């Protein structure tokens, strides 16, 4: 137990101190830039004649995923994330980066056993818990709708 306490003191003494305000500002700015980029793509798709907002939204998500995957593949996204911190965790880009990073790390193990299996270790929990949460939300919504039915 004393070793654990000593190690904790060692870590505190040697760990780099972070400027929380600066980290929050960077996360806000980088996250805002990602969202602004998404809005710019939405406007671009509108100019190209895509009138349906749902279609434009899907195209924007696919575009951001493609850009994130490409930047992750060439090693640029991780360098951006070092400075942006949580700002790169905007759901679409953060999830795409997590998926591609796992695939890159596992490529030496082969396509099926390595890449495909590792992709499901990241996506699997997201799909399972996302589905479970939506079912629970739906049940609660249904119960509230019955209980507080307006005439």
Q: Give pLDDT tens digits for 2-57.
A: 778 888 888 877 878 888 899 999 999 999 999 999 999 999 999 999 999 999 99
Domain ranges in the chain are: 2-147
Pull the structure tokens for residue 115.
């890449």
Token look-up 């509108």 returns 46
Span 124-149, pLDDT tens digits: 777 777 778 888 999 999 998 888 87
The rounded distance, in Å, linking the Cα atoms of 16 and 23 is 13
- Sorting pLDDT into bands at 50, 70 and 90, what band is 150? low
User: Quick check: 115 and 106 in contact, CB under 8 A?
Assistant: yes
Span 42-62, pLDDT tens digits: 999 999 999 999 999 999 999
Nearest to 53 by CA among 40, 68, 43: 43
User: Quick check: 32 and 61 in contact, CB under 8 A?
Assistant: no
Average confidence (pLDDT) over 65-89: 89
User: Quick check: 97 and 77 in contact, CB under 8 A?
Assistant: yes
């Amino acid at each position: 137990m004393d070793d654990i306490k000593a190690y904790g003191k060692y870590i505190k003494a040697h760990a780099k101190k972070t400027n929380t305000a600066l980290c929050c500002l960077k996360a806000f700015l980088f996250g805002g830039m990602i969202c602004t980029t998404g809005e710019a793509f939405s406007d671009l798709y509108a100019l190209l004649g895509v009138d349906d907002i749902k279609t434009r939204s899907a195209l924007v998500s696919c575009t951001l995923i493609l850009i994130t995957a490409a930047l992750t593949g060439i090693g640029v996204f991780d360098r951006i994330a070092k400075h942006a911190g949580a700002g790169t965790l905007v759901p679409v880009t953060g999830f795409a980066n997590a998926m591609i990073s796992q695939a890159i790390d596992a490529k030496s193990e082969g396509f099926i056993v390595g890449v495909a299996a590792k992709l499901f270790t990241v996506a699997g929990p997201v799909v399972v818990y996302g589905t479970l949460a939506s079912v629970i939300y739906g049940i609660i919504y249904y119960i509230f709708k019955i209980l507080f039915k307006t005439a």
